[in-house]
Amino acid sequence: MTTKLADPVNYYLPLGEDEFHLNPYIGQPIQLIYHNQIQCQHCGRAAKKSFSQGYCYPCFKKLAQCDLCIMSPERCHFDQGTCREPEWAKGFCFQDHIVYLANSSGVKVGITRPSQIPTRWIDQGAVQGLPIFSVSTRQISGLVEVIFKKHISDKTHWQRMLKSANEEVDLVALRETLLDKVSDEIIALQNRFGLQAIQPITHLDTQSISYPVNTYPTKVTSKNFDKMPVIEGTLMGIKAQYLIFDTGVINIRKFTGYDVELLV
């Protein structure tokens, strides 16, 4: 789903060439029907199974954006000459990235490109987000994240995230506490890559985010088009990339490329 920051976030479901605004239908019954067809989001070919949220198997094995180092940037192997798509990597990986704190299922550390703020936080269901470092490459952002992971999680526990609105946390105070713990390791990275390659961000305020949810589920039951081609129920809310029904939840991003009909 595509999103627009508002109070609460506006959600739009891409259907063919159109985007359907979902917020007005919260509290109403809707039905999603999967027509047993999958199209690769990169090459467009028909696929029997989707890999890495929307790719056919050949693209999954071939594309750099599906490589392990995308999920673990600190494992970048560009300098070893083994990158799947060096030209693509030059445009995607060798640009500024942001290291941030976000409050989703709890406070976590993460990385993203500046253009993806606050979209990245919304996709994780974060109710707060705060940039803490600007770094010059994706690999360096991963190395900074690894340092913070010794003291704070880098994961979003989606079931917990979907059960409540989360209490707000003083992310600025937490940033200062964490910086005291990691300062020596950050200085070592700056000595390795250059002072300008890793710059702290101290002038930004915490971004608060609210979601269009009428009722949070007490028990989270996941729905899957591969096992259940028709998913229906009253739409109780939307958070992260999940539609929350009175009958269960579904991660829409997981089914990118699926041919789905929406009835309202």
Q: pTM to 2 decimals?
A: 0.93
CA distances from 212 to 9, 20, 206 (A): 7, 15, 20
Encoded tokens for 179: 């910086």
How buried is 65 (Cβ within 10 angstroms: 0-12 exposed, 13-18 middle, 19+ buried)?
Answer: middle
Ramachandran assignment for 257, one of left (phi > 0), alpha (psi -120 to 50 degrees), beta (any other): left
* 3-class secondary structure per residue, 72-113: CHHHCCHHHCCCCCHHHHHHHCCCCEEEEEEECCCEEEEEEC
Average per-residue pLDDT in the chain? 95
Q: What is the domain count for the chain?
A: 1
Distance CA 133, CA 114 (A): 11
Mean pLDDT over 49-75 rounds to 93
Distance CA 234, CA 27 (A): 6
pLDDT of 18 over the 90 cut:
no
pLDDT of 228 over the 90 cut:
yes
The pLDDT score that the predictor gives to residue 6 is 97
The pLDDT score that the predictor gives to residue 258 is 94
pLDDT of 16 over the 90 cut:
no
Asked if 94 and 146 touch (Cβ cutoff 8 Å), the reply is no
Q: Is the dihedral of CA 70, 47, 223, 235 positive or negative?
A: positive
Mean pLDDT over 240-255 rounds to 96
pLDDT digits (tens, 9 = 90+) for 164-211: 888 899 999 999 999 999 999 999 999 999 999 999 999 999 999 999
More confident residue, 19 or 165: 19
Mean pLDDT over 142-161 rounds to 95
Question: What is the span of the domain harbouring residue 118?
Answer: 2-263
